[in-house]
Structure 1
Amino acid sequence: MILLSGAVLIVLAIIAYQDFKYRAVYWICFPVLAVLLGIHKTIDNGFQSLLTESLFTVGFLLIQFLVLWLYFTIKYRKPINLTNGYLGWGDILFLLAVCFYLSPLNYVVFYVGSLMASIIYALANRLISKKDTLTIPLAGIQALLFALLLIIAHMMHLNFDQDSYTLYKLLPL
């Protein structure tokens, strides 16, 4: 299990490095990450859990992309391509890869939290940099945050691949 976790962290580091440095990531990193995370979740919770929870998280993500597409389509009064200047393929593929590990509740929390961190990064970068156009390494930021989440989960014996753990152990009800 340590080798598997180490491999996941290496792939996350590669994604973060490439996205911050080049604003592009080799596409093969994302299916490798998805497979490694899927194996990790299957070992921890079983194949049935992987399938059902991945379907929920992928469905949530597709709804998010549909809402985003509708927003820009209404705003510009014509259909738009989200991957043409709004969202990179690496960002989409990273979010899909993470679907194979996090439980639905934890996925939503990670998704919202990582988007807020990306906004903070963009605002800070905008203040520092005087460029007219600003690109955000969303997949890189999310890869760093996900790596940090995995390291903290390992050190503190937390389990973010099950909602029951989050609901009963972390949330004061």
Structure 2
Amino acid sequence: MLWFKFLVAGLLLSIAYEDFKNRMVRLVFYLLLVASLIILRFDNISLIGLLIDFGMNLAYLSLLLFMSLTVLYLRYKKITNPLLYIGVGDILLLLIFCIWFDTINFVVFNTVSLIVALIAHSLLKQFEFYNKHKTIPLAGIQSLCFLSLLIIRNIDAQPF
């Protein structure tokens, strides 16, 4: 299992690097991350528990997407494509995180990582290397938040 933990750490760093550098991430990183997290998650939870957590987290993400679409509709007075405002990679990473967390922890992680992303973007936009793209590297920032969480939990002698 230790090998999978290092693989997850490497994948999260790769996602962060590519998202900061190019604002896009290779699909293979997401696929390997899904496989690794499922293997690690089965070490702590049954298939039924995993499916229940995933379903609840997916319902929460659907609610967020619906609320976002409603806000966009009220703002622009027309139906707007949400992919103009959030990247497919960002959505994929959130779906991957649905596998790892139970519902309460997912809501807390998502909220905290979005606040961290807002603060990081506000601080980093002052630097020229960051400003060559107009978008926020949300998947990169959230992957670093997730990696930080995994490291802290591992140092605290808890299993990933």
Distance 1:131 1:44 in 2: 41
- Residue 78 of structure 1: aligned partner: 78
- Residue 157 of structure 2: aligned partner: 157
Unaligned runs of 5+ in 1: 161-173
Could you tell me how far 1:132 is from its partner in structure 2?
A: 9.7
For residues 61-94 of structure 1, the C-alpha deviation after alignment (integer angstroms, 9 at most, x for no partner) is 111111101110121011111112x100110000
Task: Point out which structure has higher relative CO (alpha carbons under 8 A, 6+ apart).
Answer: 2
Tell me the C-alpha RMSD between the 2 structures.
1.9
- Residue 38 of structure 1: aligned partner: 38
Could you tell me how far 1:38 is from its partner in structure 2?
A: 1.6
Percent sequence identity is: 32
TM-score by length of 2: 0.92
Unaligned runs of 5+ in 2: none
Could you tell me how far 1:26 is from its partner in structure 2?
A: 0.7
CA contact (8 A) 1:58 1:96 kept: yes
For residues 134-171 of structure 1, the C-alpha deviation after alignment (integer angstroms, 9 at most, x for no partner) is 321000000011011111111102467xxxxxxxxxxx
Could you tell me how far 1:133 is from its partner in structure 2?
A: 7.0
After superposition, the Cα gap between the structure-2 partners of 1:131 and 1:46, relative to the gap in structure 1 and judged at 3 Å, is closer
TM-score by length of 1: 0.85
- Residue 95 of structure 2: aligned partner: 96
- Residue 165 of structure 1: aligned partner: none
For residues 93-148 of structure 1, the C-alpha deviation after alignment (integer angstroms, 9 at most, x for no partner) is 00000111111111111100010011101211234459597321000000011011
